[in-house]
Amino acid sequence: MTATLVQDLLALASGSLVGFTLGLVGGGGSILAVPLLIYLVGVTNPHIAIGTSAMAVAVNAAASLIIHARAGTVKWRCASVFTLAGAAGAFGGSTLGRMIDPNHLLAAFAVLMIIIGAIMLRNRDEEGMPDVRLSRENLPRLVVLGLASGVLSGFFGIGGGFLIVPALIYATGMPVRYAIGSSLVAVTAFGLTTSLNYAAAGLVDLRLAALFIAGGIAGSLIGARATKALAMRKGALNSAFAVLIFLVAAYMLAKSLGLSAS
């Protein structure tokens, strides 16, 4: 078995794992894409890992968006304003991220993972205003929060759903189910903006991205089915996944700081 074939199989398996966790716990799974590409698949350049994962996240988010759009859980006008502001932020964030030393970038990424894990431990409630619309009151908040979310998403090459969902809820008061559906518009656009910016600099591995996407689609279907069977244990699943994120973040932080010191 050649080294390339092994890498391809690991990329496929990594994509499946990310897709499975997204389908199972409903968010946060894409944060594992970069560490999996670096530490399991063997991508040596963190910038290429970020650009490649951003492309995979964008495609998988677009597929999920179609499902939510058919279910009527996307607030298109609010999502569009948020996304347009965020796309500009994602371009700026991804441009800045490309200029940061890879080891420092990984250390910052690990810290972000710890924050995500803490957010996932919090329970989401379903209260909100399902008939919310774009208005003069929520427009400024959508623009500011969209821009900020886009910058972080682009800088770290992540989908950013864990940031976008609460931002949409805060900006508009929409229920979480609508925020999740609407967030996918932004996740798709942010990932596409970031990946194109990285691709322009030759920092996207299209072969690995395609394998990651294929694995992600298969994994998400399995995860979506599993979550129905484990619906009563959703809180425990979120907690377990948060612990996994903490462990991976600790490993990344130790590795990146060790490399920086060498």
- Tell me the three-class secondary structure of 193-236, residue by residue: HHHHHHHHCCCCCHHHHHHHHHHHHHHHHHHHHHHHHCHHHHHH
End-to-end CA distance of the chain: 34
Total-model pTM: 0.79
**Pair 87, 154: CB distance under 8 Å:** no
Distance CA 260, CA 262 (A): 6
pLDDT score at 224: 65
134-177 tens-digit pLDDT: 898 899 999 999 999 999 888 887 777 777 888 888 899 888 77
Burial category of 206 from C-beta neighbours within 10 Å (exposed 0-12, middle 13-18, buried 19 and up): exposed
Half-sphere exposure for 47 (CA within 13 Å, toward CB): 18
Residues of the chain predicted below pLDDT 70: 1, 23-29, 120, 122-128, 224, 227-238, 241, 258-262
**Pair 185, 81: CB distance under 8 Å:** no
